[in-house]
Structure 1
Amino acid sequence: MNEQIARGTRHDPAFANIGKGRLDQSLEKELGPKTGKALGKLGLRTVEDLLRHYPRRYGDRGRLTALAELRTGEHVTVIARVAGNDLRAMRNRSGAILTVRITDGTEELTLTFFGKHRGSLEYHERRLRPGATGMFTGTVSLYRGARQLTHPDYDTFDDLDDEFEAVQKVDWPIPIYPASSAIASWRIGKAVQTLMATIEASDVPEALPAAYRKEHRLPDVLTALRRVHEPHSPEDWRGAHKRFRHEEAFVLQTALAQRRAVSLAEATTARPPRAGGVRDAFDARLPFELTAGQQEVAAVLERELATSVPMMRLLQGEVGSGKTVVAVRGMLQVVDAGGQAALLAPTEVLAQQHYRSITDLLGPLAEAGMLGGAEHATRVVLLTGSMSAAARRKALALAASGAAGIVIGTHALLSEIVQIPDLGLVVVDEQHRFGVEQRDALRAKGRTTPHLLVMTATPIPRTVAMTSFGDLETSTLRELPAGRAGITTTIVPANKPHWVGRTWERVREEIDSGGRAYVVCPRITAGEDAGAAEDGFSDDVTAELFGLEDERAPRRPLASVEEVSALLRETPALDGVAIGQMHGQLPTEAKDAAMADFASGRTPVLVSTTVIEVGVDVPEATVMVILDADRFGLSQLHQLRGRIGRGTRPGLCLAVTAADPATPTGERLLAFAATTDGFELAETDLRLRREGDVLGASQSGRSSSLRLLRVLTDAPIIEAARSAARDLVARDPELTTEPGLAQMVAESIDEDAAAYLERT
């Protein structure tokens, strides 16, 4: 493969700087400044943007929109029939008002138009006569309890220019586009038709190989564009959708297959197991038996580390399923083979937790060269940005000399001054917190390409794993270690003082019986704005959370660590209980002290932000109170809940919320309370969220390239595309036989999108 895709120079092995010709032209140039600027407000700036702006749905002139389903504040496009109109002078000021009642046959919606005089509204009155049918677009508002659209844009179906248009409007489906107040759906449609009339096959790259299209009975790209924007029947747009779902999957899988091919082609050092080494000694001192799942994954890692082909594996598992132990065994196999391993964690709290848990597991095996160290031992060092200069120098020296077999750290590991000369294995924990560049910056420290193990405690549906981690093989741990007593989850309505009061009584009962309690808040201080909060949300619920009157606890935006800590100290149920605090802005020493005090029981209640979301392991923690629980996603709620019930005593999670159970947010919380199965919750999460969000488009700041593909329901398409893409890349790594595909990959999977491909 050419040098452009060599290791370290690009993160997406695809052609770059390929011009798009006609597709690159600006919409202002093609359609005029007025239309171009209106489309620009929707993020559509080029010809390609507009051609790929597919209709949201398709209307049928014989089928009216169900008006009862419209929500206040929603920008809508509806198909309805005019039931009546009334044009009159305004009563209390000069001017005229036209009210038009439209109906779906059952419900009615009012259209309201204002004018300086009656004559200025007569045009609308003539077009919107009773019996006329059309499309109406605007934002739903309430006036005296009735829903209305004020000054809506509209298009009636009898505005016909010629016989052909009449036939078309009667018989063909109506494309209804994602629109805005700046430009209505049918105006977008007319702009698309203007472009489609001049687009030729040579203007649009064909991403799908001919053989693949034939096998799956898919139209070519230009035919599909015509059918999606100007369908003559429902079969037209359905066939076009199928084609574009295959295309989106194929482009993604090709990019990932190229990346995988580049990594697998790189030289690495085989790290076979060694009998009688540190790993065997580690196994012998483990105080528990590995689960069947752990043993199975451990065997896979052992085989792959022993080869000269770089291991590239994702290890996902339930919270508390024992991923760390499996990873440690892999790291010790590398140490036994004369190499070093590095573990990259996203936060200092998690890095320090890993350091403590791994050194505790190893005991004397982590004390090579030290008094009391075992005969077969290594050293484990921690490297974070907030360490003292002396501690940092010592850690750097141990890593650079090779004396430290295991190096644990945060982003500080990525610094150029960090040397790990015989790096044989990189373990990345909570991969979704890192970009590809960070992952590869650490791998580049090895003399040869290190093996890679990516871990996540956020369960990933299989299709998402294939799509967002498509260059990695996947292992899954579902089985929890024996002895776990389980967790019960209860939703606590914030507007019911008795329930809230009982929450703090339950916390006290757990503490009195030797337990610990986390209290999680969305932000650190009450005064910070939403953007400054660690989780960036806002609402007024703090007073209800404590059942206090306004004069005692004024309503403030969201629950904060500082305010909640103060209020808990005044709560009678917790009289005499020490309250600790934890959040990301604390100095490292303060974080360590807070966790130590909590673990020991000196401060049995820890009020924290989500900084304790992953990795923190205090077996005595039995209760988790999540304030403003509706402000967290399902995945984050599941991670937080996983901090309790890690010992032999059962856990209790109390999710406090002001959300109405009948709303989508309330439904999400009910789903959270109904199961502790992270994989089931991941499927639910995927159904509730946009595909692009699941794959990280919102985090990376770019629009999702998955417009039609649904990773939850399109598993057969994703699997077919993955298999075909890998076969193609194996035959033709640089895609010289498929220039259209190469162009699409280069356009879609650029440097900014690399992290998007690797996140969930």
Structure 2
Amino acid sequence: MRPQSLFPLFAPLTALPGVGPRVGPLLEKLAGEHAVDLCWHLPTGIVDRRHAPHIADAEPGRIVTLTVTVERHLPGASRRHPYRVRCADDTGFLHLVFFHARRDYLEKLLPVGAERIVSGRVERFNAEIQMVHPDHVAAPDDLDAIQAVEPVYPLTAGVMPKVLRRAIRAALDRAPELPEWLDPAYQARQGWPAWKPALESAHAPADEADLAPSSPARARLAYDELLANQLALALVRRRQRRLSGRPIAPEGMLRAKAEAALPFALTGSQQTAGAEIRKDLASGDRMMRLLQGDVGSGKTVVALMAMLDAVEAGAQAALMAPTEILARQHFATISRLAAPAGVEVQLLTGREKGASRTGILEAIADGRARIVVGTHALFQDDVVFADLALAVVDEQHRFGVEQRVSLAAKGQRTHILVMTATPIPRTLTLTAYGDMDVSLLTEKPAGRKPVDTRVLPASRLEDVRAGVARALDRGTKVYWVCPLVEESEQSDLAAAEERHAELKAAFGPRVGLVHGRMKGRDKDAVMAAFAGGDIDLLVATTVIEVGVDVPAATVMVIEHAERFGLAQLHQLRGRIGRGSDASTCILLYTPPLGETARARLEVMRDTEDGFRIAEEDLRLRGAGEILGTRQSGMPTFRLADLAHHAELLAAARDDVNLILERDPDLSSPRGAALRTLLYLFERDAAVRYARSG
């Protein structure tokens, strides 16, 4: 149960004064559904109203706070004309300008002869000083309230800054004093305030320095969030460890048969990762391992060897992929590699219907299907395994942790292997996969040549098209990728369709098109024709980013490369260079390039090392977008910024290890405070694991 002290913070937003049924949904979209979500919605800028000159000294373009006397009202000739109010001090006069104003309201707000405090941006118009729609108008005794530094918050359409500030203030007023969960020595060393003063201070910046991630209040709150994340992961990990696994330690005959039939030798890191996995499977503890390898580093082969061990031990293995294209690709690869070992592989996606689906479900339920490859369809209720011993999850960041757990729940004491081809910086690995051991594949299979990456302006499009024509004449296959434009699938599709029509006019029927809004069956048909049929030039949106394997494709053109994230560019480029022929990737950009876009393209030109690219991506864009888009499986931090707070993450991890060593049940006073922290950051499941030991 959430502690009672936190109840006020977890009240719905509509419980806050001034947040009614109209504003409530807008604020919820902006920040979240509870009062606490507004507490985490920190300012990104400030408006300083402390500058209080005389009218004659007010600089145009600057925000000022003036003390004036109202001289007269000058209504416009009609509602469409501005309404002016002339005000003065000892040094001169200015006009306050209002559009669509109500006269009775303004006469009450600014009575003639009264002294008023006005604050806003001044500007010069027809050689006169004016202030259009002042931000504040108040009586002189309110000077201190107005003449202050005002926080500026990220907004959403329909929410006025004043309304948001009032709602945040109401949420902060609900924040209780909470027991301290930080280690006292560490807190003193960092010079951090207690939790509630830190929260208040983060929402009341006095200058630009207070907005920096390293300011004491913000660093403290970021550490709290990272500590909750690391503690929750450690508790989940400990629970998984305590749920005993099933020892899987066959002689390895099936594995040996499959390996003998491979047309290549396993790399050193594939052999090391395989040995780490076999050790986990044989230990009697449940395996929770992340297999992280760059595009084309051979993760599927490593996973297959583990699955064959599970099969040889008399059990079943399943591989879950995030898309149907990828599931079918894995099915084709694994079926081919498992054939020499005589193992039957089944495919289950949402497309299988009727008698075909029933037959597959029966084969899974009676154990004939030894290895099952599928999409989300695998963890539907009617999928029952005879004896699932190993669950492999590909591109884990496309799934939530819950989905990983629900697939494992299809078996008894199921081992879990998670694979990702998205290189993840170490800091993100700790926050997303801190409950797992990590195996890295750092080499590319023998015979793979580096990809020659060139960065060209869009004005060279004709040269690029001529180069594509020469490549097609040589018999190579070519990808032509069109970008996502302004987050709209519509325009994404329009750009691809337009380019497809143009290239088809030039090169004829050998040009195909694939995009995310096509039906699965149509998409697969085009991909199959590109892989081994009459399509040689494939115009595509980013639907081809993950997992498509066409070794004959050696050229890729990416239009508007400046619009893509680094990780996405790296994933796309990974579709070529998969055979033994030299490959070329052309990144076309439209000038002028911003600083970040230029840096991204330079990194792509200079290196193919996915881990270096991932670290650069983190530095350039921050953790929120590190995987191209915000993905469900990655934690999204509200207060911590991993590009700035990596050291705090390492400290939080060390702190958690020490806490659980000294107080494994969180029963000490600090342990009880840490339980409150877990509830505060909605890591409720982890509290249950702490209780159950």
TM-score of the aligned structures, taking structure 2 as reference length: 0.79
Deviation at 1:320, TM superposition (A): 0.8
Aligned partner of 1:225: which letter? L
Cα distance change on mapping 1:390 and 1:568 into 2, 3 Å: same
For 1:301-330, what per-residue CA distance to the aligned partner results, in whole angstroms no more than 9, with x for missing partners?
121111111111111221111111221222
CA shift, 1:461, in A, is: 1.0
SS state at 2:555 partner: strand
Give the aligned residue type for 2:538. L
Equivalent residue for 1:151, pick from 133, 158, 162: 133
Counterpart selection for 2:554 from 604, 611, 622? 622
Structure 2 counterparts to residues 69-218 of structure 1, below 5 A: 94-96=81-83, 113-114=98-99, 151=133, 153-154=135-136, 161=142, 165=144, 175-178=151-154, 200-201=176-177, 204=178, 206-208=180-182, 213=187, 218=192
Asked whether 1:221 is paired with 2:195, we answer: yes
Write the distance in 1 (CA, Å) between the matches of 2:83 and 2:517: 59
Are 2:233 and 1:251 equivalent residues in the alignment? no
Structure 2 counterpart of 1:52: 40
The answer for the alignment partner of 1:11 in structure 2 is none
1:711 aligned partner: 642
User: Residues 427 and 649 of structure 2 are in contact (CA less than 8 Å); yes or no, is this contact kept in structure 1?
Assistant: yes
- Kept in 1: contact 2:604–2:613 (CA 8 A): yes
Contact 2:13/2:24, CA 8 A, preserved across alignment = no
Q: 1:9-88 residue pairs with structure 2 within 5 A? A: 15=1, 20-24=6-10, 31-32=17-18, 37=23, 41=27, 43=31, 47-57=35-45
Letter in 1 for 2:133: H
SS of 2:417's equivalent?
strand
Residue among 630, 636, 657 paired with 2:568: 636
Compute the displacement of 1:709 (Å): 1.1
Match of 1:351 in 2: 327
**Structure 1's 234 and 607: CA in aligned 2 closer, same or farther, altered over 3 A?**
closer
8 Å contact 1:661–1:667 — kept in the other structure?
no
> For the structure 1 residues 53 and 567, does the alpha-carbon distance in structure 2 shift closer, same or farther, using more than 3 Å as the test?
closer
Query: For each residue in 1:461-492, what CA deviation from the matched residue of structure 2 results, as whole angstroms up to 9, or x when unmatched?
Result: 11111112221222222322232222233445
1:290 is matched with which residue: 266, 284, 291? Answer: 266
The corresponding residue for 2:58 is none
Q: What letter corresponds to residue 514 of structure 1 in structure 2? A: G
Aligned ranges for residues 353-372 of structure 1 at < 5 Å? 353-365=329-341, 368=342
Cα shift at 1:402: 3.2
SS state of the match for residue 20, structure 1? helix
**More divergent stretch after superposition (406-415 vs 728-737):** 728-737
CA distance in structure 2 between the aligned counterparts of 1:429 and 1:485, rounded to whole angstroms:
25
Q: Does 1:560 align with 2:493?
A: no
1:418 maps onto 2:383 in alignment: yes
Q: Deviations over 1:40-72 (max 9, x none)?
A: 6454776534443333245677899xxxxxxxx
Report the CA distance shift for 1:645/1:233 in structure 2 as closer, same or farther (over 3 A): closer
Q: CA RMSD in A?
A: 4.8
* 2:529 alignment partner, SS class: helix
Matched-pair contact (CA < 8 Å) for 1:578–1:603 = yes
CA distance in 1, matches of 2:566, 2:39: 35
Compute the displacement of 1:622 (Å).
Answer: 0.9
Partner residue in 2 for 1:443: 408
1:489 counterpart residue number:
453
- Give the whole-Å Cα distance in 1 for the aligned partners of 2:370 and 2:194: 55
Using a 3 Å threshold, how does the CA distance of structure 1 residues 206 and 31 change in structure 2: closer, same or farther? Answer: farther
**Residues 31-40 or 675-684, more deviating:** 31-40
Deviations 1:242-290 (A, max 9, x none): 2111101011112222222222211211112515x11123333333222
Deviates more, 1:625-634 or 1:27-36: 27-36
Q: Where in structure 2 are the equivalents of 1:486-635 lying within 5 Å? A: 486-491=450-455, 493-494=457-458, 496=459, 499-521=460-482, 536-537=488-489, 539=491, 558-561=494-497, 563-571=498-506, 574=507, 576=508, 578-584=510-516, 590-630=522-562, 632-635=564-567
User: C-alpha displacement at 1:697, in angstroms?
Assistant: 9.8
**Structure 1 residues 577 and 401 mapped into 2: Cα distance closer, same or farther (>3 Å)?**
same
Give yes or no for the alignment of 1:319 onto 2:251. no
Q: Which amino acid aligns with 2:439?
A: S
**Contact 1:111 / 1:151 at 8 angstroms: preserved in 2?**
yes
Tell me the distance in 2 between the aligned counterparts of 1:741 and 1:696.
Answer: 33
- Deviation (angstroms), 1:182: 6.8
Give the counterpart letter for 1:579 in structure 2.
V
Could you tell me how far apart the structure 1 residues matched to 2:445 and 2:293 are? 12
CA displacement at 1:460 relative to structure 2:
0.8
Q: CA deviation at 1:642?
A: 0.9
Alignment of 1:237-248 (within 5 A): 238-248=215-225
- State the Cα distance separating 1:364 from its structure 2 match: 2.1
Matched, 1:428 2:360: no
Checking the alignment, whether the CA contact within 8 Å between 1:60 and 1:174 is kept in structure 2 is yes
Q: Partner letter of residue 569 of structure 1?
A: K
The DSSP-based 3-state class of the residue aligned with 1:714 is helix
Alignment equivalent of 2:317, drawn from 337, 341, 344: 341
Pick which of 719-728 and 209-218 moved more: 209-218
Query: Which residue in the other structure is 1:551 paired with?
Result: none
Structure-2 change in CA distance of 1:296 and 1:128 (3 Å)? farther
Asked if the contact 2:614/2:626 (under 8 Å) is kept, the reply is no
Structure 1 residue 423, shift from structure 2 partner: 1.8
Q: Which residue of 2 aligns with 1:526?
A: none
TM-score after normalising by structure 1: 0.72
Structure 2 residues not aligned, in runs of 5+? 53-60, 88-94, 688-693
What corresponds to 2:57 in structure 1? none
Tell me which residue corresponds to 1:648. Answer: 580
1:456 aligns with 2:420: yes
**Farther off after superposition, 250-259 or 403-412:** 403-412
Contact 2:16–2:170 (CA<8 Å) still a contact in 1? no
Q: Which residue type is aligned with residue 372 of structure 2? A: V
Q: Is the 8 A contact 1:425 1:453 kept in 2?
A: yes
Aligned AA (1:419) = V
Alignment-mate amino acid for residue 400 of structure 1: A
CA distance in 1, matches of 2:685, 2:360: 33
The superposition leaves residues 488-507 of structure 1 with CA deviations (integer Å, 9 ceiling, x where unpaired) of 3344544x3xx222222222
**Shift of residue 213 of structure 1?**
4.0
Answering whether residue 430 of structure 2 is matched by residue 466 of structure 1, we say: yes
- Corresponding residue to 2:653 among 716, 722, 729: 722
Does the aligned pair in 2 maintain the 1:334–1:425 contact within 8 Å?
yes
How far residue 34 of structure 1 moved from its aligned partner, in angstroms, is 8.3
Sort the Cα spacing of 1:714 and 1:585 in 2 relative to 1 into closer, same or farther, 3 A: closer
Kindly report which structure 2 residues correspond to 1:266-281, keeping only aligned pairs within 5 A, or say none: 266-275=243-252, 277-281=253-257
Deviation at 1:429, TM superposition (A): 0.6
Q: How many percent identity over aligned positions?
A: 38
- Aligned pair 1:330/2:306, yes or no? yes
Are 1:700 and 1:752, in contact at CA under 8 Å, matched by a contact in 2? no
1:228 partner letter: A
2:326–2:546: 8 Å Cα contact kept in structure 1?
A: yes
2:441 matched residue in structure 1: 477
**Larger CA deviation: 500-509 vs 28-37:** 28-37
Which residue pairs with 1:68 in the alignment?
A: none
Q: Is the 8 A contact 1:88 1:118 kept in 2?
A: no
Q: Give the equivalent residue in structure 2 for 1:12.
A: none
Quick check: 682-691 or 191-200, which moved more?
191-200
1:385 aligns with 2:350: yes
Q: 1:749: which partner in 2?
A: 682
Distance 2:483 2:205 in 1: 47
Letter in 2 for 1:356: A
Measured at CA, do residues 306 and 26 of structure 1 come closer, stay the same or move farther in structure 2, by a change above 3 Å?
A: closer
Give me the whole-angstrom Cα distance separating, in 1, the residues matched to 2:500 and 2:553.
Answer: 18
Q: CA deviation at 1:397?
A: 4.2
Aligned to 2:494, what secondary structure does the other structure show?
A: coil
Deviations 1:69-94 (A, max 9, x none): xxxxxxxx985699x9xx98879975
